[in-house]
Chains A and B, each alone.
Chain A
Amino acid sequence: MGPGLFCDHCSGFVLLRLRNIPLPALAVAAVVLMGTALALIFFYAPIDADQGLSQKIFYIHVPIALTAYACFAWGAWKAFLHLWKRPPGADLESYVAIHQGVIFGALTLLTGSIWARISWGHWWAWSSNQLVTFLILFLFYSAYFMLRYSVEPGPARANMCAVYALFGVVLIPVSWLSIRIANDYIHPTVFTTNGPQMSGSMFLAFCVSWAALLTLAGTMYRVELAGKRLDSRLRELRELLA
């Protein structure tokens, strides 16, 4: 196994260490994957026989939702590490991941509403468990920022935010499984126990789109984290020079 394939804090899991990939390479990969995904979505994947052209929203809406889940899970993992091993910077990493999750969560709700309008005839359906549980997840993590900015910075705030982030992660499987558990007939279920319910070319376009959005989220995470770290170092320097 090559260096960098095992995470420092989670030996046993094969995780590619994001920080080992140079940021410009990650940004270029995001742009290339985005272009490839758009080409596959509009020129390669066939038009759905049932929904027609509006089904193309699926290729952006579902990967964005899955990326939001991944960001929240990453934020919760960093929060867990903060409480467990106390590595420096885990609290900031958890905060930035949750911030990315909220951005992608808002985009999930927006693209989902647009898709709902053309498919179901209305922007929102309170009867859909998938929609409501995702909204709860989104609002829960939006409230994370209220907690964070209402407490003075320090170890107490970091601990409180970490516990809050960990509680929220429970909502991810609830949101994911809600349509399967409650027989939600409104929101379509594409991934079943029999595999993805779509053709090979559609699945390829979906996978490339998801890879593109994950890479974009990774790039945004790294850029925002670098900005936050620089800000904190400059503040420290200002205090030293004062």
Chain B
Amino acid sequence: MSASEKYVAAAYLVVFVAVLAWIAIIAAKLARLERDASELTELARRRAEHADEREKVSV
């Protein structure tokens, strides 16, 4: 591999690695958002169950 070939490969590889790193960061962020959404769904479900129980007691 000549010096020119090495530098051209390095320039294109830098861009490719940057895009991959960005995808990895976004994937990590998406996983966090998914965890947050499940946590909030669980919280809302518990709230709804609690409200149902209170309604039954008052009847």
Which residues in A have some Cβ–Cβ distance to B below 8 Å? 52-54, 56-57, 60-61, 64, 103, 106-107, 110-111, 114-115, 117-118, 216, 220, 223-224, 227, 230-231, 234, 237-238, 241
Question: For residue A117, which residue of chain B has the nearest CB?
Answer: B7
B18, A57: Cβ atoms closer than 8 Å: no
Which residues in B have some Cβ–Cβ distance to A below 8 Å? 2-5, 7-8, 10-12, 14-15, 18-19, 22, 26, 29-30, 33, 36-37, 40, 43-44, 47
Main secondary structure of the interface of A (DSSP, over half): helix
Main secondary structure of the interface of B (DSSP, over half): helix
Question: For residue A223, which residue of chain B has the nearest CB?
Answer: B26
A60, B12: Cβ atoms closer than 8 Å: yes
Chain B residue contacts of A230, Cβ below 8 A: 33
With known contacts A103-B22, A230-B33, A231-B33, A118–B12 Cβ distance under 8 A: no
With known contacts A234-B33, A241-B44, A107–B8 Cβ distance under 8 A: no
With known contacts A103-B22, A227-B30, A54–B14 Cβ distance under 8 A: no
B12 to chain A, nearest CB (A): 6
A60, B15: Cβ atoms closer than 8 Å: yes
With known contacts A53-B2, A107-B18, A223-B26, A114–B7 Cβ distance under 8 A: yes
Chain B residue contacts of A114, Cβ below 8 A: 7, 10-11, 14
User: What 6 pairs between A and B have smallest CB-CB spacing?
Assistant: A53-B4, A118-B7, A114-B11, A57-B11, A54-B4, A111-B11
The CA of A61 and the CA of B10, in the complex, are separated in Å by: 12
The CA of A52 and the CA of B33, in the complex, are separated in Å by: 48
A53, B5: Cβ atoms closer than 8 Å: yes
With known contacts A227-B29, A238-B40, A54–B8 Cβ distance under 8 A: yes
Chain B residue contacts of A60, Cβ below 8 A: 11-12, 15
